[in-house]
Amino acid sequence: MKKPIYIIGTGLSHNGSAVLLKDGRICIAIEKERLTRIKHDGGNDALAIKYCLEAEGIKLSDVSLVVQTANFDIPNPKQFKGKRIFNDENSPEIITISHHLAHAYSAIGTSPFSEGAVMVIDGCGSPLSQYLALHPEEQKNIDVNLINESQMRCEKDSFYHFYDNKLTPLFKDFSEMEELTNDHLRMPTTKHSIGGFYAAISNYIFGDMEDVGKLMGLAPFGRTNKFNFEAFEFVSERLYVKEDWKNNFTNPSKGYDYFKEHFSYYADVAKWAQEQVEKAIVNCLNYRIKRFPHKNLCYTGGVALNAVANAKLQDCLSENTVFFEPAAGDNGLALGCAFYGWIAHLKKPKLMHDGNTCFGKQYLQEEINEIVKKELNENFKKIFFENEAQLLLYCAEKLNEGKTVAWFQSGSEFGPRSLGRRSILAHPGIENMKNHINRNIKFREDFRPFAPAVLKDSVTEYFEVGRHSPYMILVDKTKPEYLQQLNNVTHCDGTARVQTVDETWNPKFAKLITEFYKHSGIAVLLNTSFNKKGMPIVETPLEAINLFKETALDILVLENTLIEK
């Protein structure tokens, strides 16, 4: 029997992760934050790599290749809070690639295309010096004046072409780093990046540069045309962030109470920033596609997580087929590293991906039952369902009655969205359900929206465009006749961040929505991540039980075991 080829991909950034490829296909992957329980955790990758090896039942000696990336030069191991797993002569070959290259290969490896264009837009990629050290053959494509500058410049957007298993850079833009100051509108990354701009606005409004997702949720409450100045400009098809817009924003939030007191002002700022970002993204892609046309486009990098901008982009590029990488942030770097190892380094053909984005390990029912027996007292109702149909029927009836259900099934999702493996589910139309979940289960701000998970064949019934959106990464408009039935999953501007549920890789979740449809007449469920504010999505049955006990959740389903308060 032929020995399989295992490749480890690992991202040494914030939002660290590890991926194990087996003969060119993903067999296991995990984000570090799911294991350490620290949001956006990165650095030392030993824990994530051990998780992957143990889940697959192999040793490091079975691995043929390790591919890694880091924004800056790989630091001394001491800076990674302990030794890495590769610390003896028996370790596999290790190669390092640049940041945007890893982003690009994450989209290539998971896309349905055998060839196409690839766009990467984020806050900060590899420094130019590191990029040229890793890829010296690219020096001929970089302006000599840029190379001779003493100030550090980093990747901010890159455009590639993938064909015949080869990725060719067509247009790369580098930006100098922003100076380190205490300015509340300081760009945290490169000076002229879309991602840096969005993070700066997030810091201005929330006091946290990691809260960019909240910014997108706040924007619909704001008013268009409240501010009439521009944040971005293009010079010779290169994007720059202007400086003068900052003079108009002199009232940074002083905490959540202050934010609530001045809610309409901060919503207006968020609306302006969101619209500026949308225009910048669309213009940037239009420039690149016009110059290097191709019908297929992969889009990735942290900025590609902006679901509102993605929908605008899809509409503007109606002649193109666009694949939005679901793990577009730095958590996806490990995916790209692994695929680079298979395709570029080992010269193996790209294998078509099935669309699945759930790569966590499966927890055995026996293990779950032991934890339930140990951690839950007799005050909880416990039912084990031998028959899946009976479980689905029971849950659908309870959801239709207005109960909230924590849904823990199979391997966890890879990426920022819960897609029916680690989800909190509820009725999309029962009055005040959204507020109840935000206040008593998620413990987060009341303006935060929830997503509708809809059977993919029913999406055109409820939503105006009917976008194919299996990764909850595109918005649509709820049809007027369904606004009441979907009031908990429709934002204040009538939009919804839709998840179209694909039964080919999410069968049990699709069956649950189908069963709910029979009882409610609605082929949609409210879906949100199984966590609370500031917490990574739960990974283990024990974490699920602890959160269930801590919150106002009514029901917890762990595979075929149901617990009810």
Distance, CA of 405 to CA of 423 (rounded, Å): 8
Decide if 359 is inside a domain: no
Decide if 189 is inside a domain: yes
Number of domain units in the chain: 3
Distance, CA of 235 to CA of 230 (rounded, Å): 14
Q: Dump pLDDT digits (tens) for 514-553.
A: 999 999 999 999 999 999 999 999 999 999 999 999 999 9
Distance, CA of 58 to CA of 4 (rounded, Å): 11
Decide if 503 is inside a domain: yes
Q: Which two tokens stand for residue 439?
A: 């206040």
Domain boundary among 293, 324, 355: 324
Asked if 13 and 135 sit in the same domain, the reply is no
Output the pLDDT for position 80: 65
Asked if 96 and 131 sit in the same domain, the reply is no
Decide if 353 is inside a domain: no
Asked if 431 and 489 sit in the same domain, the reply is yes
Cα 196 to its chain centre, rounded Å, is 17
Is residue 182 helix, strand or coil?
coil
Output the pLDDT for position 388: 97
Asked if 120 and 37 sit in the same domain, the reply is no
Output the pLDDT for position 213: 81
Output the pLDDT for position 150: 77
Residues of the chain with confidence (pLDDT) below 50: none
Distance, CA of 14 to CA of 80 (rounded, Å): 11
Output the pLDDT for position 190: 82
Decide if 56 is inside a domain: yes
Q: Are 428 and 526 in contact (CB under 8 A)?
A: yes
Which value, to the nearest 10 degrees, does the dihedral of the CA atoms of residues 430, 522, 310, 97 take?
100
Decide if 515 is inside a domain: yes
Q: Are 41 and 32 in contact (CB under 8 A)?
A: yes
User: What CATH number does residue 384 fall under?
Assistant: 3.90.870.20
Q: How do strand 321-324 and strand 296-300 relate by DSSP bridges? A: parallel
Q: Secondary structure of 391-423 in the HEC alphabet?
A: HHHHHHHHHHHCCCEEEECCCCECCCCCCCCEE
**Main-chain phi, psi angles of 16, to 5 degrees:** -70, 155
CB-count burial class (<10 Å; 0-12, 13-18, 19+) for 322: buried
- Domain extent for 518: 365-564
Decide if 408 is inside a domain: yes
Asked if 97 and 126 sit in the same domain, the reply is no
Output the pLDDT for position 181: 60
Output the pLDDT for position 210: 65
Decide if 352 is inside a domain: no
Distance, CA of 40 to CA of 535 (rounded, Å): 10
**Main-chain phi, psi angles of 498, to 5 degrees:** -80, 145
Of 53, 10, 17, the C-alpha closest to 34 is 17
Asked if 373 and 519 sit in the same domain, the reply is yes
100 CB neighbour count, 10 Å cutoff: 29
Q: Are 125 and 158 in contact (CB under 8 A)?
A: yes
Asked if 228 and 374 sit in the same domain, the reply is no
Distance, CA of 310 to CA of 307 (rounded, Å): 5
Extract the runs of DSSP E, i.e. beta strands, from 246-355: 296-300, 321-324
Asked if 256 and 116 sit in the same domain, the reply is yes
Helix (H) or strand (E) holding 426: strand 422-426
What pTM value is reported for the model?
0.95
Asked if 558 and 409 sit in the same domain, the reply is yes
Asked if 131 and 247 sit in the same domain, the reply is yes
Distance, CA of 29 to CA of 49 (rounded, Å): 9
Q: Dump pLDDT digits (tens) for 363-396.
A: 999 999 999 999 987 789 999 999 999 999 999 9
Asked if 31 and 163 sit in the same domain, the reply is no
Domain boundary among 345, 374, 406: 345
Of 48, 61, 55, 42, the C-alpha closest to 3 is 61
The owner of tokens 């946290």 is: 208
Domain boundary among 295, 324, 353: 324
User: What CATH number does residue 84 fall under?
Assistant: 3.30.420.40
Q: Which two tokens stand for residue 147?
A: 């190379």
Report DSSP state, residue 327.
T
| C-alpha R_g of the chain | 23
Asked if 377 and 307 sit in the same domain, the reply is no
